[in-house]
Structure 1
Amino acid sequence: MSNDWKRRTEVDDFKAQQVVRPRAQVERQLKDAILTGKLTPGDKLPTETELAQQFGVSRPTVREALGGLASAGLIRKIPGVAGGSFVNSVNPDSLSQTLRESVGTILRLGTLHIDELTAVRRVLEIPSARMAAENRSEEDLEKLRSIVERQRTTTIDDPEIPNYDLSFHATIGQASGNRLLAAFIMAVHGATHPAEYLEVTDEVARKTVKQHIAIVAALEAGNPASAAEAMETHLDYVLRYSTDYPKNAGAHE
């Protein structure tokens, strides 16, 4: 047998394909209907009983399929008489929420460490700062100045400190002009609230605020290199004064 014939028969050989489970068939068809626009945001899906009849499967199979769609952020399940399964908006905000929930689950399992988180933050936020220096609007700058002013005038026992930090970094993500990048940054911060795990002293608090001020100054100047450098300095400092995540991290979601 020639090599050419051998290669051709290997390519053309038929192979058995796995039969798709009923749950996967239901989930895939509903997902396709959402992603192609046949089902639009806010639409209410038929009841589990109705879907089971339409697909010719059991209610538990439909329930599993709906659970998969909910985990993917494509639908939301609302309990009660007036509740049901509703199609979510598929956009960067819904992506961020789905990612946030996934990161929160990993944190609760205790399988994520602060150094891993900070490494990911470098990958996301240093380029974000560089892009924000080129794309930020005056509205973005005003919001950042307002956040920094609140940080500068508060005390280290202010319970809102993690939220100030979240708003600061999320705003820079949005100012980058890349909504997908902003969604990832928001997801990481929203699930972890890194500021909650800083060993905060008066000195550490002052230093981090000064670093935020330096980042804003670089953004105001429209200097991408300086903005990236200021963000890198800030993240390095945060790692140095951060504790590891406790087992119940993410429970505040």
Structure 2
Amino acid sequence: MADRESARSRVIGQKVLRPREQVEERIRSTILSGELKSGDILPPEVELARQFDVSRTTLREALRSLTTQGLIYKIPGSRGGNFVQSVDHRSLGSVVIDSVHNLLKLGSIEFAEVAEVRQHLEVPAVRLAAANRSAEDLELLRDIVRRQKRASVDDPEVPKLDEQFHSLIAQASGNRVLHSFVAALHHETEPVHYLDLSPEVGRATVRQHKAIVDAIADRDPDAAEAAIIEHLTYLRKHIAVHVSR
């Protein structure tokens, strides 16, 4: 009786994939295993279809799915083909940017929701940065603050400097996933673009950035958290308009 019960409960089956899914899974596994590396070109579609013994239509469906996942990209033309996309934390950020951008454009999510998530992520990022930052990280942050101090409020570099500042803090955290998300979400929300950016607001923002950097320099996570919360709260109060893309 026990042997029969054991035989009934034993799991020996697994999901049977359709041809398109089998092609997709095989190519995905060769990329994620490192067998195919960033920048490698896949064999021509005719050859791939022959190797997998599937139709060109089935193959193209699999390639389209892999493109959507950000694992490959296609370059048209006689010298083009299907290439392996870079698969690291930077490519993760690119996927997040594209996805969030499309959802905002479609109206599936609101600008305020994206900004709120970014702000929540910046608190653990700055705490980790205070603990893990390198001397190089610190110098880069200080250089940005110096450049911000010299810039006028209508300087076209101001938004880019702000984006770099927050991205560098996340990078200094040492957590590449956190860095990818903060940088990507900041890229899409770009709060400086929506500020009532008077000279007074510009000066206050630079002072707040300096306080954040000073806390990171002192390796004081609590002070860094307090400084960035003060900064983000100030930004929310001075948003010129409520944005919905």
TM-score by length of 1: 0.85
Q: 1:244 aligns with which of 235, 242, 245?
A: 242
Please tell me whether the aligned partners of residues 118 and 235 of structure 1 are also in contact (alpha carbons under 8 angstroms): no
Q: Does the CA contact (< 8 Å) of 1:107 and 1:245 recur in 2?
A: no
Alignment of 1:225 with 2:222, yes or no, is yes
- Which residue pairs with 1:169 in the alignment? 166
3-state SS of paired residue (2:82):
strand
Does the CA-based 8 Å contact 1:114-1:239 persist in structure 2? no
SS in structure 2 at match of 1:183: helix
1:71 to 54, 68, 73: 68
Shift of 1:211: 1.3
Return the match for 1:32 from 29, 43, 47.
29
1:19 deviates by 5.0
- Map 1:1-253; keep pairs closer than 5 Å: 12=9, 20-242=17-239, 243-247=241-245
Shift of 1:13: 9.5
> Relative to structure 1, is the Cα distance of residues 61 and 198 closer, same or farther in structure 2, using a 3 angstrom cutoff?
farther
In structure 2, do the counterparts of structure 1 residues 185 and 197 end up closer, same or farther at CA, with 3 Å as the change threshold?
A: same
| Residue number in structure 2 paired with 1:250 | none
Alpha-carbon shift at residue 32 of structure 1 (Å): 0.7
Query: Is the 2:111–2:244 Cα contact (8 Å) retained in structure 1?
Result: no
TM-aligned CA distance change 1:117 to 1:233, over 3 Å:
farther
Name the Cα RMSD after superposition. Answer: 2.7
Shift of 1:89: 2.6
* Distance in 2, Cα, partners of 1:193 & 1:43: 34
Structure-1 separation of matches of 2:167 and 2:74: 27
**What is the identity percentage for the equivalent residue pairs of Structure 1 and Structure 2?**
47
Pairwise CA distance, 1:137 = 1.3
Q: Mark the runs of 5 or more structure 2 residues left unpaired by the alignment.
A: none
Question: Once the 2 structures are TM-superposed, how far is the Cα of residue 111 of structure 1 from its aligned partner?
Answer: 3.1
Moved over 4 A (4+): 16-19
Amino acid aligned to 1:145: R
Structure 1 residue runs without a partner (length 5+)? 248-253
User: Is the 8 Å Cα contact of residues 74 and 83 (structure 2) preserved in structure 1?
Assistant: yes
Return the offset for 1:202: 2.4
